Amino acid sequence: MAAMIEVEGLCKRFGSIQAVVDVSFKVERGEVLGFLGPNGAGKSTAMRMITGFLEPDSGTVRLEGVDIQDQPIASRQNLGYMPEGAPSYHEMTPLGFLGFIAGIRGFSGSEAEDRIATATQQTQLGSVLYQPIDTLSRGFKRRVALAQALLHDPEILVLDEPTDGLDPNQKHEVRTLIQEMAPRKAIIISTHILEEVDAVCSRAIIIAHGRIVADGTPDELESRSDRHMGVSITATRETCQQLMAGINALDGVAEAELDSRGLFVKPVRGSDILDPVRVVVGQSGLSVADIRVERGRLEDVFRAVTIPSGTGPSGTGDRP
Amino acid sequence: MNVIWILFRREFVSYFITPIAYVFIVFFLGLLGAMTFFLGGFFDRGQADLAPFFAFHTWLYLLLIPAISMRLWSEERQTGTIELLLTLPVSATQAVIAKFLAAWAFAAIAVALTFPFWITVNYLGEPDNGIIIAGYVGSLVMVGAYLAIGSCLSSASKNQVIAFVLAVLVSLLFTVAGTPLVLELVSGWAPALVIDVIAGLSFIANFDAISKGVLDLVNLIYFLSVMTLFLFINIILVNLLKAR
């Protein structure tokens, strides 16, 4: 069976700028694909082509096996899309707006009412249904646009920065909602909030300068960080300075550096240094508050792959 | 068809949930009344007809219709709702037609609200109501042509002011095409056929012909062709410029 979303060799050029270069990937049912990348990397352009808003210069997009260029209207029936900036008709009320969307989606009467009720409940819009969208806060506007994308319970969801502008509680609610829906759908979300990838995505693609520069599960990507498997020691500065010489002498240690909490020991790639470090600490007789292994930080990987090599602060350690 | 109806309804209702409808109708009726009575000498002529009233429709539409049409597509592009609209199961053709029809229906309401003029002449005398009906029909198709030009140019720019100015400019060309001013400009060098064609493109001449009671099919077809042409270009522009 064909994957729910199949993207092959997508390219788009705006004038002299290559916005998207040879982007290919598949998303199966049950997957939540996180689209990461710096601003202007081509995330939104790629999403616009996947949803059929923008015609690619070359490449194909198939939704449930249907080529969106061949059958633009049919391929959109099972697609829910929240464009960048969460646009909606601001003079309307959420109820009027969702009623319009329901009509376009072919629902009428009590079925339309049920759909609207479900979508407004999922996005917690109940309290503002009768206020013009114009007068709503940014978080509500975003949720109105989200409700629009969910209204027909599509099996394919493409959400461009779904949690942008929401407060932490609302972010949590939207992430929970995405997680709940995930098993039944193929979902693409774009974000530049890296914690979101850990929270909801089963896979992440990092785009820079229009190209895919990394593709894997959040864990796989984290393991590419040079902090991956590093050991972090929380202790006073004097203690750390005394420990440094012994730790630096260990096999498998690339570098030990002081940071705000104590000491961070960077391993040579692939080596497990927790136990040897523990031994050194134990033998020294000094007391430390905590010793633990780090998973690696997506942020470091993100920076390493999205900043052109040479200027890349790849693994410069502890910037705030 | 159903999709066009739903799009039409949303567009049409949006005129009335914003102040656009009320402001426009008040201005339209106020200006038309002032022109008819003061410039047209509605009473002084001592004739029971609506000729002075219809005479000003062209000029009023030239300025006021672009004010309705300017937002049709530039607003969608400006606010990004065009991306929402055109990723729904809706084609650009359906959207262009629905928006145009909604604007036309709205303009038709404004025109219909001039009915007190009709009542007045019927109260004061015995006008030829056939001619008046022909005038209203002509006015409606002419409004449609102005709206199609405006809608088309609204899709050419994200900026509503630019859309307005462009629409007035192109509308002006069509409006004055048959006037002596333009004809004298070309009559010196252009062949007679070209002059005839230019004269034939005039909104004023075509509207005059209809509103004098000569409900000639040619004039109606002319306005319908202008609408079709500009809506066709409108669809192309929407597809071409939607993501810019």
Residues of A in contact with B6 (CB under 8 A): 100, 103-104
Q: Does A145 touch chain B (CB under 8 A)?
A: yes
- Structural domain spans, chain B: 2-241
Instruction: Report yes or no for ipTM above 0.90.
Output: no
Q: Does A92 touch chain B (CB under 8 A)?
A: yes
Rounded to an integer, the average pLDDT of B141-166 is 95
Lowest mean pLDDT among A116-125, A233-242, B111-120: A233-242
Q: Does A53 touch chain B (CB under 8 A)?
A: yes
What is the band of B1 on the pLDDT scale with cuts at 50, 70, 90? low
Fold annotation for A5-223: Rossmann fold (3.40.50)
- Residue A311: predicted pLDDT: 47
- Shortest Cα distance, chain B CAs vs residue A131, angstroms: 12
For residue B63 the two structure tokens come to 């300025």
Query: Residue B181 pLDDT more than 80?
Result: no
Rounded to an integer, the average pLDDT of A87-116 is 94
pLDDT digits (tens, 9 = 90+) for A245-258: 888 888 888 888 88
CA gap B153, B73 in Å, rounded? 9
Residues of chain A with pLDDT > 70, as a percent, come to 96
Rounded to an integer, the average pLDDT of B129-157 is 92
Query: Residue B171 pLDDT more than 90?
Result: yes
- Residue B216: predicted pLDDT: 76
CATH node for A231-294: 3.30.70
- Residue A92: predicted pLDDT: 94
Residues of chain B with pLDDT > 70, as a percent, come to 98
- Residue A307: predicted pLDDT: 80
What is the band of A242 on the pLDDT scale with cuts at 50, 70, 90? confident
Are A91 and B81 a contacting pair at CB < 8 A? no
Q: What is the mean pLDDT of chain A?
A: 87
A and B: number of Cβ contacts within 8 A: 65
Sign of torsion, CA A206 A212 A216 A219?
Answer: negative
Can you give the three-state secondary structure of A45-92, one letter per residue? HHHHHHCCCCCCCEEEEEECCEECCCCHHHHHCCEEEECCCCCCCCCC
pLDDT digits (tens, 9 = 90+) for A192-202: 888 888 889 99
Are B84 and A84 a contacting pair at CB < 8 A? no
Query: Residue A310 pLDDT more than 50?
Result: no
Residues of chain B with pLDDT > 90, as a percent, come to 55
Rounded to an integer, the average pLDDT of A201-210 is 90
Query: Residue A312 pLDDT more than 50?
Result: no
Are B14 and A89 a contacting pair at CB < 8 A? yes
Question: What's the order of all strands across the beta sheet hosting A66-67?
Answer: A17-27, A5-14, A58-63, A66-67
From the list A51, A88, A91, the residue facing B14 with the nearest CB is A91
Are A89 and B88 a contacting pair at CB < 8 A? no
What is the band of B180 on the pLDDT scale with cuts at 50, 70, 90? confident
What is the band of B72 on the pLDDT scale with cuts at 50, 70, 90? very high
pLDDT digits (tens, 9 = 90+) for B29-46: 999 888 888 887 777 776
From the list B10, B79, B243, the residue facing A53 with the nearest CB is B243
Query: Residue A7 pLDDT more than 80?
Result: yes
Rounded to an integer, the average pLDDT of A41-60 is 92
Query: Residue A259 pLDDT more than 50?
Result: yes
From the list B84, B90, B242, the residue facing A87 with the nearest CB is B84
Are B87 and A79 a contacting pair at CB < 8 A? yes
Query: Residue A109 pLDDT more than 70?
Result: yes
Q: What is the mean pLDDT of chain B?
A: 89
| Position with higher pLDDT, A91 vs B216 | A91
Interface test with B, best of A48, A68, A91 (most B CBs within 10 A): A91
Rounded to an integer, the average pLDDT of A164-180 is 89
Are B87 and A72 a contacting pair at CB < 8 A? no
Please give the sequence-ordered ranges of beta strands (E in DSSP) within chain A, or none if there are none. 5-14, 17-27, 32-36, 58-63, 66-67, 79-82, 156-160, 186-190, 203-208, 211-216, 231-234, 253-258, 262-267, 290-293
CA B23 to chain centre: 17
For residue A116 the two structure tokens come to 């609207």
Task: Write out the residue limits of the CATH 3.30.70 domain(s) in chain A.
Answer: 231-294
Lowest mean pLDDT among A87-96, A140-149, B64-73, B203-212: B203-212
Rounded to an integer, the average pLDDT of A26-34 is 93
Closest by CA to A39, choosing from A10, A19, A16, is: A19
Task: Write out the residue limits of the CATH 3.40.50.300 domain(s) in chain A.
Answer: 5-223
* Secondary structure (DSSP) of chain B: -HHHHHHHHHHHHHHHHSTHHHHHHHHHHHHHHHIIIIIS-TTTT---S-HHHHHTHHHHHHHHHHHHHTHHHHHHHHHSHHHHHTTSS--HHHHHHHHHHHHHHHHHHHHHTTHHHHHHHHHHS---HHHHHHHHHHHHHHHHHHHHHHHHHHTT-S-HHHHHHHHHHHHHHHHHTTSHHHHHHHHTTS-HHHHHHHHHT-HHHHHHHHHTT---HHHHHHHHHHHHHHHHHHHHHHHHHTT-
Q: Does A73 touch chain B (CB under 8 A)?
A: yes
Residues of B in contact with A109 (CB under 8 A): none
Residues of A in contact with B102 (CB under 8 A): none
Q: Does A76 touch chain B (CB under 8 A)?
A: yes
